[in-house]
């Protein structure tokens, strides 16, 4: 298939590909024929079909990831309205925990779902704010309040065990 070539150079004449494709000579102009277009369409839709089958097979064999249990804070370690940063489930996944009430703790991934800037807790507005593009997230469930992010922040499920707060799962 001559018309499906990669690379910036190559071809019989040794000229750059763009010079061949946009030749100044009428005689060297190449047009896509009806048959070539049809072939392209058929092959592309076949590729889409194979891709969909692949996605289907993957979803059939999907296994829910297993999250580690990790003690992230002591009860009463932070004051009401206070914030603690930690990493969960791996060292590179930064999270933010806010004590919203006497016995209420919420925790979210700190990565904004727009362009991965670190969100911070605004006590005055009682919401999570991303400083990069003014994306605001609800403190209740991590839902987007305004701005460019389209998905809510992933929530870290916390469990109180004795005097410890243990992160057990990432949701969303």
Partner 1 sequence: MINFDFIEREESIRSAAYVCWHCDEPTCAQVCPADAIKKGEDGIVHSSLKPRCIACNNCVLACPFGIPKMMIPEQQMMKCDMCYDRTSIGKRPMCATVCPSQALSYVRPEEIASRREKPTNIFYFGSQKITTKVYMMAPAEREAIALDVVDYMWEENHELVAVGQ
- What does the binding site for partner 1 look like in residue numbers (CB under 8 A)? 22, 24-27, 29
Q: How far is the CB of 24 from partner 1 (least distance, A)?
A: 4
Q: How far is the CB of 8 from partner 1 (least distance, A)?
A: 17
Backbone torsions φ then ψ of 2, nearest 5 degrees: -65, -30
Nearer to partner 1, 11 or 154 (CB): 11
Q: How far is the CB of 29 from partner 1 (least distance, A)?
A: 8
Q: To which residue do tokens 């309040």 refer?
A: 145
Q: How far is the CB of 41 from partner 1 (least distance, A)?
A: 25
Furthest CA-CA distance within the chain:
83
Q: Do 111 and 132 touch, CB atoms closer than 8 A?
A: no
Nearer to partner 1, 18 or 54 (CB): 18
Distances (CA, A) of 37 to 45, 95, 147: 12, 50, 41
Nearer to partner 1, 2 or 26 (CB): 26
**Dist. CA 70–CA 157, nearest whole Å:** 11
Nearer to partner 1, 24 or 60 (CB): 24
């Amino acid at each position: 298939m001559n018309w499906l070539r990669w690379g910036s150079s190559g071809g019989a004449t040794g000229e750059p590909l763009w010079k061949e494709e946009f030749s100044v000579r009428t005689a060297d102009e190449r047009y896509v024929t009806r048959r070539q277009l049809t072939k392209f369409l058929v092959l592309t839709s076949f590729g889409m079909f194979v891709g969909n089958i692949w996605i289907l097979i993957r979803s059939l064999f999907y296994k829910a990831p297993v999250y580690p249990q990790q003690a992230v804070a002591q009860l009463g370690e932070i004051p009401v309205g206070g914030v603690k940063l930690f990493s969960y489930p791996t060292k590179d996944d930064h999270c933010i925990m806010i004590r919203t009430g006497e016995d209420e703790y919420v925790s979210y991934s700190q990565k904004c779902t727009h362009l991965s800037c670190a969100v911070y807790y605004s006590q005055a507005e009682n919401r999570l704010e991303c400083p990069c593009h003014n994306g605001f997230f609800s403190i209740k469930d991590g839902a987007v309040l305004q701005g460019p992010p389209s998905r809510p922040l992933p929530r870290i499920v916390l469990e109180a065990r004795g005097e410890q707060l243990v992160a057990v799962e990432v949701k969303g």
